[in-house]
């Protein structure tokens, strides 16, 4: 195996990239909820924070009972223990990227981790 992975993904409702890209430090999924649809469960995590990037559309994320509006271009970090559920607006599909990483695990980033 080479030291990089590249794939093209279909326009499915949910594509998890962990296995396809041989990820070792994060879980990444690309998701689309049709208008009026929602993630079918409320959930939290034991140790992983989630970062949501809204690609297109609009919707709502409910965080510990609070509704937060989501629009294309929004980014949101959610702590592991927060109960969450995403919903697309009735009149708009919601496409988003979800990145899961272990909370508190980042030691270096950007130039601090670069070798030049």
Average the pLDDT over 81-110 and give the result.
94
Model confidence at 1: pLDDT above 70 = no
Domain count, the chain: 1
Residue 17: name the closest of 9, 1, 101, 106 by CA: 9
**Per-residue burial over 10-20, b = 16 or more CB atoms within 10 Å of its CB, e = otherwise:** eeeeeebbeee
pTM attached to this predicted model: 0.87
Structural domain of residue 64, as residue ranges?
22-103
Residue 72 falls inside a structural domain:
yes
Q: Using an 8 Å Cβ cutoff, are 54 and 96 in contact?
A: yes
Establish if 38 belongs to a structural domain: yes
Q: Which long-range contacts (CB under 8 A, 24 or more apart) does 65-72 make?
A: 70/94, 70/96
Q: What is the reported pLDDT for 103?
A: 94
State pLDDT tens for residues 11-37: 777 888 888 888 889 999 999 999 999
Give domain status of residue 7, yes or no.
no
CATH number of 74's domain? 2.60.120.10
111 in any annotated domain: no
């Amino acid at each position: 195996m080479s030291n990089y992975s590249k794939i093209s993904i279909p326009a499915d409702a949910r594509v998890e990239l962990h296995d396809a890209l041989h990820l070792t430090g994060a879980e990444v999924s690309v998701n689309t909820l049709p208008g009026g649809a929602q993630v079918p469960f409320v959930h939290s995590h034991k140790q992983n924070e989630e970062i949501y990037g809204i690609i297109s559309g609009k919707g709502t994320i409910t965080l510990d009972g609070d509704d937060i509006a989501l629009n294309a271009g929004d980014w949101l970090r959610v702590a592991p223990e927060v109960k969450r559920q995403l919903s697309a607006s009735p009149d708009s599909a919601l496409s988003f990227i979800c990145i899961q990483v272990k909370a508190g695990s980042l030691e270096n980033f950007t130039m601090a981790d670069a070798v030049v």
